[in-house]
A and B are shown apart, each in its own frame.
Chain A
Amino acid sequence: DAGITQSPRHKVTETGTPVTLRCHQTENHRYMYWYRQDPGHGLRLIHYSYGVKDTDKGEVSDGYSVSRSKTEDFLLTLESATSSQTSVYFCAISDMGVAYGYTFGSGTRLTVV
């Protein structure tokens, strides 16, 4: 999707290892979000950021941490990956808040074995 890139697109990792997913935007949008998508659960918010170094927890934040040192980058870290964190992770950006819509990235498919 134009303006927002997630990396890697696919990753397989072992239980207990740390994993970092990256979201990079070129739109200079203030708000950035990390969601996970699982069958039967839809999209659930993990963490979000409303500015550089300003972050907050979402609905399913346990086991995850985030950092945003630059406007364009929002990192999601799984400190010690577990099988329950196998999921598709989406980053989203928004310029003026949710009322103007999100733009989602193409996702990262993470498998924890």
Chain B
Amino acid sequence: QQQVKQSPQSLIVQKGGISIINCAYENTAFDYFPWYQQFPGKGPALLIAIRPDVSEKKEGRFTISFNKSAKQFSLHIMDSQPGDSATYFCAASETGSYQLTFGKGTKLSVIP
């Protein structure tokens, strides 16, 4: 059972454009939603995270939007740059759990 569904699988965006990656979850007990960024040959690294008490969190060009009623959250990358080209994973967990459940990932390519 896939508890976190991520789309699209791949995404191509022009430099300066907005990249949007979406995730949906099923478990209403989830209360922590991080995004990880992974460059080729490297391990994933925490990018930004949100809890359901806020609907949006912004850090620089990266924004998480959260819709609790729809059980969806998304990552927006503003002014996308070629250096943002990477694989992005959404994830979720619930209080008291030892583990994160990951989406399947989105490969983002930002072309000049």
Contact = CB atoms under 8 A, between A and B. Distances in A.
A73 to B, nearest CB: 18
B95 A99 contact: yes
Interface size class of B (residues with CB under 8 A): 20 to 34
Contacts of B32: 98-99
Interface stretch (A40-48, A60-68, A79-87): A40-48
A104 B45 contact: yes
Interface string A86-105: 00001010000111011111
Contact of A1 (B6, B43, B104): B43
Contact of A106 (B36, B41, B97, B100): B41
Interface string B50-93: 00000000000000000000000000000000000000010001
Contacts of A58: 99
A74 interface: no
Contacts of B93: 98-99
Contacts of A90: 43-44
Nearest to B92: A98
B13 interface: no
Contacts of B105: 42-43
Nearest to B44: A104
Nearest to B107: A39
B104 A31 contact: no
30 contacts: A1-B43, A31-B98, A33-B99, A42-B6, A42-B89, A42-B102, A42-B103, A42-B104, A42-B105, A43-B102, A45-B99, A50-B98, A90-B43, A90-B44, A92-B43, A98-B32, A98-B99, A99-B93, A99-B95, A101-B34, A102-B36, A102-B100, A103-B45, A103-B46, A104-B36, A104-B45, A105-B43, A107-B41, A107-B42, A107-B43
